[in-house]
A and B are shown apart, each in its own frame.
Chain A
Amino acid sequence: MGEVIVITSGKGGVGKTTTTANISTGLASMGKKVVMIDTDIGLRNLDVVMGLENRIVYDLVDAIQGNCRLKQALIKDKRFENLSLLPAAQTKDKTAVQPEQMKELCQKLKEEFDYVIVDCPAGIELGFKNATAGADKAIVVTTPEVSAVRDADRIIGLLEAAELRNPTLIVNRLRPSMVKKGDMMDINDMIDILAIELLGVVPEDELIVVSTNKGEPAVLDMHSWAGQAYRNISKRITGEEVPLISLDADSGLVSKIKKFFGFQA
Chain B
Amino acid sequence: MNTTNLIAVKGNKEGLQIICGDKGSWKEIITEIKTRLAGENSHFFKGASVQVDTGTRILSAEQVGALWQVLQDSGLTVKCIKTETQDELAQSFKSWSREQGKELSETEYVCAKPVLIVKRSLRSGQNITFDGNVLIFGDVNPGAEIIASGFIMVLGYLRGIAHAGSSGDDKAWVMSFRLQPTQLRIANCITRPPEEEPQGPELARIHEGVIVCDSMDWRKYYDLIGGI
Contact = CB atoms under 8 A, between A and B. Distances in A.
Contacts of B125: 154, 157-158
Interface string A134-175: 000000000000000011011011101000000000000000
A150 to B, nearest CB: 5
Contacts of A151: 124
Nearest to A124: B125
Interface residues of B, number: 11
A193 B159 contact: yes
A195 B143 CA distance: 15
Interface string B102-131: 000000000000000000010111100000
A192 B139 CA distance: 10
B139 A153 contact: no
A157 B123 CA distance: 6
Nearest to A153: B124
B86 interface: no
Nearest to B122: A157
B142 interface: yes
Contacts of A158: 125
Interface in B149-195: 157, 159
A193 B140 CA distance: 9
Contacts of A153: 123-124, 141-143
Nearest to A151: B124
B142 to A, nearest CB: 6
B139 A150 contact: no
Contacts of A156: 123
B196 to A, nearest CB: 16
Chain A CB count within 10 A is highest, among B123, B125, B142, for B123
Contacts of A157: 123-126
Contact of B124 (A150, A160, A192): A150
A162 to B, nearest CB: 13
Interface string A167-207: 00000000000000000000000001101000000000000
A167 to B, nearest CB: 12
Contacts of B139: 193, 195
Chain B CB count within 10 A is highest, among A151, A153, A154, A195, for A153
Given A193-B141, A193-B159, A195-B139, A154 B124 contact: yes
Contacts of B141: 153, 193
A192 B197 CA distance: 15
A151 B139 CA distance: 16
Contacts of A192: 157
A185 to B, nearest CB: 13
B143 A154 contact: yes
B176 to A, nearest CB: 15
Contacts of A160: 123
B39 to A, nearest CB: 40
B65 to A, nearest CB: 21
A157 B126 CA distance: 7
Chain B CB count within 10 A is highest, among A151, A154, A158, A160, for A154
A119 B121 CA distance: 27
A193 B123 CA distance: 9
Return the 7 tightest CB-CB contacts between A and B, nearest first.
A157-B123, A154-B124, A153-B124, A154-B125, A153-B123, A153-B141, A157-B126
15 contacts: A150-B124, A151-B124, A153-B123, A153-B124, A153-B143, A154-B123, A154-B125, A157-B125, A157-B126, A158-B125, A192-B157, A193-B141, A193-B142, A195-B121, A195-B139
Interface of B: 121, 123-126, 139, 141-143, 157, 159
Given A150-B124, A154-B124, A195-B121, 10 more contacts: A151-B124, A153-B123, A154-B125, A154-B143, A157-B124, A157-B125, A157-B126, A158-B125, A160-B123, A192-B157
